[in-house]
Amino acid sequence: MPPTLRLGNRRGLWHRDPMRRTLAGIGLVLLAVAAVGLTWWRAQRPVEVRLAHPEVATARWAAYVDLVRARPVPDSDASRAVLDAFIALNRAEYAAQRAGTPDAPPVAVARAALVEAQVRYDQARGAADLVQLGRWQGMRLTEHLSDLARAAARARVSPVAWVAAHGDDPVARAAIDVGGPLLSQLSQGGFLGEGGLDPARLPLLQAVFIQRWITPIRRRRPLDAHLSGDELEWLMRWRVEHDRQGRLADRVKAADALAQIPGYPAQLNAGVLLYRAGRYADAAARFKRSEARRAATYLRAARAQLKHTP
């Protein structure tokens, strides 16, 4: 008969060696202590409560661009008048922003001139074409911002700083003519940094540009009904994720509207906005309803803040 392994002998050896049992017990205790310590350390670390920025599918953005380019707007005296007035307003607002006088008289004059030019274009071509003209200008803004980002990268400064230092450069002038004060807003929102123009945010950039395009004429001729579903969604995302100058109520309302978009973390982002505003109880309620992976961590952070809030 072949030899067999006698496990009973090994078990007997284990029971006869108290030192081994002691060392094993100590090891288990140390592991337990380490696990508790790690859990405590993680709980004590400050939590950075951040907004989520889901990317727009590349194919979706490409399809949008194709639709815009498939319908060019005819050149005309009316379209040139609108574009000239838009450039004049951007220059006036950019200069006023730099001077710290956003309500300077030249801005009001330029805005009134743009409204009149847009109204005449609307009467001649229709509201749909006016919005389409804005879409094409949004595409041009992307091109000019890309040129600006490359120039700033070569100088190793931020794009906004580069424009301020090279205002007479053709690249800077083109960015001001199409973007105006939007340049600093894009920089604050993380769209335009030393790393260049973030391609993942181009849909939101397009939406916020169109919003700026239709705002002057809104009191005379509301054009929101002519925006596409994609543009409305991306505009709401801009308000939630990047519009630091916007009112909290408006940003939370936009997040609630985005709850209809499958997969968008509306409750999480609404909670983050409320958390940053110091409304920890409201934030906790949002985090509790969110299905996002980080929601549980943010919920603990909100509850911790509530314990320390008078």
Question: Is residue 68 located within the same domain as residue 91?
Answer: yes
Q: What is the pLDDT of residue 5?
A: 42
pLDDT at 275 over 80: yes
**Helix (DSSP H) and strand (DSSP E) numbers for the chain:** 15, 2
Domain carrying residue 304? 250-310
pLDDT tens per residue, range 138-183? 999 988 998 998 898 888 888 889 999 998 999 999 999 999 998 8
Q: Count structural domains, the chain.
A: 2
Question: Is residue 212 located within the same domain as residue 260?
Answer: no
Q: How does the average pLDDT of the chain come out, rounded?
A: 87
Question: Is residue 230 located within the same domain as residue 258?
Answer: no
Question: Is residue 204 located within the same domain as residue 299?
Answer: no
Q: What is the pLDDT of residue 81?
A: 97
Question: Is residue 191 located within the same domain as residue 63?
Answer: yes
Q: How confident is the model at residue 200 (pLDDT cuts 50, 70, 90)?
A: confident
Question: Is residue 309 located within the same domain as residue 241?
Answer: no
Of the listed ranges 19-23, 236-240, 264-268, 276-280, the least confidently predicted one is 19-23
Q: Which amino acid is at 33?
A: V
Contact 250, 273 (CB under 8 A): no
By the 10 Å C-beta count (0-12 exposed, 13-18 middle, 19+ buried), 12 is classed as: exposed
Question: Is residue 127 located within the same domain as residue 63?
Answer: yes
The pLDDT of 32-58, averaged and rounded, is 70
DSSP helix/strand/coil, 28:
helix
Question: Is residue 70 located within the same domain as residue 153?
Answer: yes
Q: What is the pLDDT of residue 27?
A: 59
Contact 117, 109 (CB under 8 A): no
Tokens of 112: 């009134």
Question: Is residue 266 located within the same domain as residue 224?
Answer: no
pLDDT tens per residue, range 223-248? 989 999 999 999 999 999 998 888 99
